[in-house]
Amino acid sequence: MLELYHALTSTCSQKVRMSLFEKNLDWVDHRVNLAANEHLTPAYLALNPNGVVPTLVHDGNAIVDSSVICEYLEEVFPEPALSPRDAVGRAAMRAWMRFLEEVPTAAIRVPSFHMALARRFEHLDAARFRDQVADIRPIRKHFYRRMGTEGFGKDDVDASLDELRQTMARMETALANGPWLMGQDFTLADIVVMPSIDRLADLGLSNMWEDHFPRVTDWYARLRARPSFAKTYAPGSRLSEGMTIRPLAVNG
């Protein structure tokens, strides 16, 4: 039995949902309410000591980290395949995945929190924010401290947007041999970058590729046409459905 602990709006959860739907797997849906800190309860931390979603539980074994989960699903349920058959191709896909985790997946958190999620905390004073929000997080406390209740400063926002632009430029080059990042076949590389691009659209920043990267624009349209996409982005999966997105004004 497959069980997924996840949140609809979580970009990392979206990667895993897409993999599950692409593979037509049945899974038990455990929603974790991040706003209510359900990911920081002792019961959840016993499954995932990082205090983040998603977590997959397969026949009683907890598997953490979205890319690890995607690769685990690929190993245990190889058909339909979401990775190249040959070792060189798989290495190239994994190199994409590592780049995508290190660069855009980390970068997208900055505009996501700055333009939307930080608003959850704006009623707190600095001391309560540190005690009740930042310091209780196992691996994200410094990220939250850096953000504070007001959002990020200009340097952080500029750097993250630059990293997202760099990602799109790399995608544009790779997609010359498309339709997908790895060429003819849709793979985990496409799945891992998808939520960062979709989140930018959700934040009203789709001009970042629509004005500069035509192949990325076409790739995103192709992605949205896949049946698994609508299932992955069920109602409630976009930040703009639940909160007002603030313009990209930055502090300091």
Binding site for ligand GSH (CB under 6 A): 10-12, 34, 39, 52-54, 65-67, 137, 140
The answer to whether residues 47 and 135 touch, using CB atoms and an 8 Å cutoff, is: no
Q: In the complex with ligand GSH, which residue's Cβ is closer, 218 or 234? A: 234
Q: In the complex with ligand GSH, which residue's Cβ is closer, 187 or 213? A: 187
Q: Is 114 left (phi over 0), alpha (psi -120 to 50) or beta?
A: alpha
Q: In the complex with ligand GSH, which residue's Cβ is closer, 11 or 187? A: 11
CB of 148 to ligand GSH, least distance (A): 14
Q: In the complex with ligand GSH, which residue's Cβ is closer, 15 or 170? A: 15
CB of 228 to ligand GSH, least distance (A): 19
Q: In the complex with ligand GSH, which residue's Cβ is closer, 23 or 140? A: 140
CB of 112 to ligand GSH, least distance (A): 8
Q: Is 85 left (phi over 0), alpha (psi -120 to 50) or beta?
A: alpha
Question: Cα separation of 248 and 152, whole Å?
Answer: 10
CB of 214 to ligand GSH, least distance (A): 29
Short-list 29, 15, 13, 63, CA closest to 192: 15
CB of 60 to ligand GSH, least distance (A): 20
The answer to whether residues 76 and 58 touch, using CB atoms and an 8 Å cutoff, is: yes
User: At 89, phi and psi to the nearest 5?
Assistant: -65, -40
Question: Cα separation of 10 and 155, whole Å?
Answer: 24
The residue assigned the tokens 């998603």 is 54
